[in-house]
Amino acid sequence: MTKKYQVYTFRPTFREGMGSMGDDELKLMDEVVRIYKQGHPILFKEYVHRNQWNYFIENTKGIAGEVELEGPLPDDWAVDSQKHIRIFNRCVHTNTKEVLGRKAQLPFLGYKRDAKLLDKHFITTYGWQREHERECVMQVLERLQILKDSIYSRPDADSNLQENVNIDYIFPIRNDNVKYKNIEGTDQKLDKETFLRHQHLTLPVLYEAAKRVHCWVVLDDFPLNDDLNGTPAEKFLWPVFFGIPFIYVGSRNQMDVLRSWGFEPNDPYRNSVRGVAEQMLWLRSIFDDPKLAQEWQDSQGELIIKNRKALEKLPDMIYEKDSIGFGYPETISTD
């Protein structure tokens, strides 16, 4: 008989903020502990904060059981030898197989790119889910007009979120006029179901936009938050599959996972909002010079092909490396 996993999705819906261990977060964690103590395997879906994990370990110390995570634990996080921990990134595994199944419809673009045909600096997707980390990055890029000649998406304003997006030590980098924006340039808002479940609708739009840009900016979930386990989302798949140079805006833990899978961004990883802004301004100066822009594109070919080869192997790598011995349990979602 297949065991049923209890699924807990940790998104920043807690009033006091993710990892602050306020009343609502403690209530959820106490439920996780209670279910685990009853002998049920636990699946921590998506992201786990260091404080959440410490609370779980401290309150289940010495109790044997099964735990599944979607990203590995950083080396300095507490562990318990009684727990059988499985790491399996279902999101990336599923989406990689889906994009690779569309090779015939969306041919690889990366063999030789003509910079004269590229009229936009960057493309980046923020998606439908607002979160403090991505909002900080996006507001800096908007405030400094780094994206004025780019294609990007972002959700509209959230009053609670906007109150906490002053991050610069000289002056507040804040946009009080946040407006919804999608890749297509229309007012149509994509919901979670459309954006995540129907890539046959979103992939062609992204593919056509990719033909116009010099570089993709992979703005991952909870970027630059090193207090979360390393769980890359599916966003890096798109430039790698299309054959477009990309830079990566994520945490160190997420970057470590990508490298373990064989991927490397086309410009060195930066670990701060300011570093990302400076990186993109530097790249813009290259893209605005026709000669340098073509030389930059030409120099990326080998890495683009290397990343694509890593993508072809990724589904088997994730399964063989991370899921041996567990199989595919039936799941119950508490969302």
Task: Let me know whether 66 and 159 are in one domain.
Answer: no
Task: Let me know whether 36 and 72 are in one domain.
Answer: yes
pTM here is 0.89
At 168, is the pLDDT very low, low, confident or very high (cuts 50, 70, 90)? Answer: confident
Residue 322 in domain: no
Residue 276, pLDDT above cutoff 50 = yes
Task: Let me know whether 118 and 25 are in one domain.
Answer: no
Residue 8, pLDDT above cutoff 60 = no
Task: Let me know whether 32 and 178 are in one domain.
Answer: no
Closest to 140 (Cα-Cα) out of 170, 167, 178, 160: 167
At 13, is the pLDDT very low, low, confident or very high (cuts 50, 70, 90)? Answer: low
Average pLDDT over residues 15-30: 85
- The CA distance from 138 to 149, in Å, is 14
> Which range, of 36-40, 180-184, 188-192, 225-229, averages the lowest pLDDT?
188-192
Task: Let me know whether 145 and 79 are in one domain.
Answer: no
Q: What percent of the chain has pLDDT over 70?
A: 86
User: Are the CB atoms for 220 and 131 separated by under 8 Å?
Assistant: no
- The CA distance from 313 to 310, in Å, is 5
Tokens of 55: 């609370």
Tokens of 34: 């209670």
Task: Let me know whether 44 and 188 are in one domain.
Answer: no
Residue 72 in domain: yes
pLDDT score recorded for residue 333? 33
- The CA distance from 266 to 264, in Å, is 7
Average pLDDT over residues 30-43: 93
Task: Let me know whether 76 and 219 are in one domain.
Answer: no
pLDDT score recorded for residue 195? 53
- The CA distance from 12 to 54, in Å, is 18
Task: Let me know whether 153 and 301 are in one domain.
Answer: yes
DSSP code, position 189: P
- The CA distance from 174 to 168, in Å, is 9
Task: Let me know whether 33 and 162 are in one domain.
Answer: no
- The CA distance from 246 to 125, in Å, is 12
Residue 321 in domain: no
Task: Let me know whether 117 and 51 are in one domain.
Answer: no
- The CA distance from 190 to 299, in Å, is 36
Task: Give me the domain span that covers residue 136.
Answer: 101-313
**Residue where a domain terminates, one of 34, 60, 87:** 87
pLDDT score recorded for residue 324? 34
- The CA distance from 142 to 170, in Å, is 17
Task: Let me know whether 53 and 152 are in one domain.
Answer: no
Q: Centre a 10 Å sphere on the Cβ of residue 291 and count the other Cβ atoms it contains.
A: 9
